[in-house]
A = this chain, B = another copy of it.
């Protein structure tokens, strides 16, 4: 076979169905906070934007509905899911549990390459300017540490929870200056991993997530219309 054919074959699509492509793009947009909570997602509009019909768009939205990022209103379409402060609090509480578990399992097993990678993410994190990049690096830092646990399902569950609250965390980070404390806690966590100390890694991780959760809930309670859920 000629090299031309190979060339064509190599770039022959991301091997992604239209439905999956739309789902991934919208998911990212929601997580990044580009779409406001409660915003209506008009199917025809999205379909036109991606140059597909409504069918794959609806399939994508159904997927995101099950993931908890979108809510369907009967005969009124889909909106970006919004979380009450109580719900955010619950998610952060669960994250604290699972991430502490992952840290405990991973700390004794982590290797030097993973530590170096985490350290690199930490440095990049300190230099990152916008909240978008910050969110990405924050996840990279933590997931790098958790990977050594060899628990893909646990990691996936953590990521799923993280996705649901990430846009709120980012909004907070953009408005308040939480970076110094965050960086300090990250450094302490990394140090616990360097020492391969499971108890310290777990407890510091737990406290880190709960701190972020408390800070977030406080902020939202202040800035939302008194009883507000939105």
Chain A: residues with CB nearer than 8 A to chain B? 15, 17, 19, 55, 58-60, 62-67, 74, 87, 90-91, 93-94, 97-98, 101, 151-154, 157
Contacts and interface: CB of A to CB of B under 8 A. Distances in A.
A166 to B, nearest CB: 16
Contacts of A59: 58-59, 62
Nearest to A67: B66
B19 A62 contact: yes
A66 B27 CA distance: 12
Contacts of A60: 62
Contacts of A157: 94
A65 to B, nearest CB: 7
8 contacts: A19-B62, A58-B59, A59-B59, A63-B66, A66-B66, A87-B152, A90-B153, A93-B101
A64 B62 CA distance: 9
A153 B74 contact: no
Which 7 A-B pairs have CB atoms at the shortest separation, nearest pair first? A66-B66, A90-B153, A63-B66, A59-B62, A62-B62, A62-B63, A66-B67
Given A55-B55, A74-B15, A74-B17, A94 B63 contact: no
A63 B67 CA distance: 8
Contacts of A17: 74
A153 B81 CA distance: 14
Nearest to A90: B153
Contacts of A153: 87, 90-91, 94
Nearest to A155: B90
A60 B152 CA distance: 26
Nearest to A100: B97
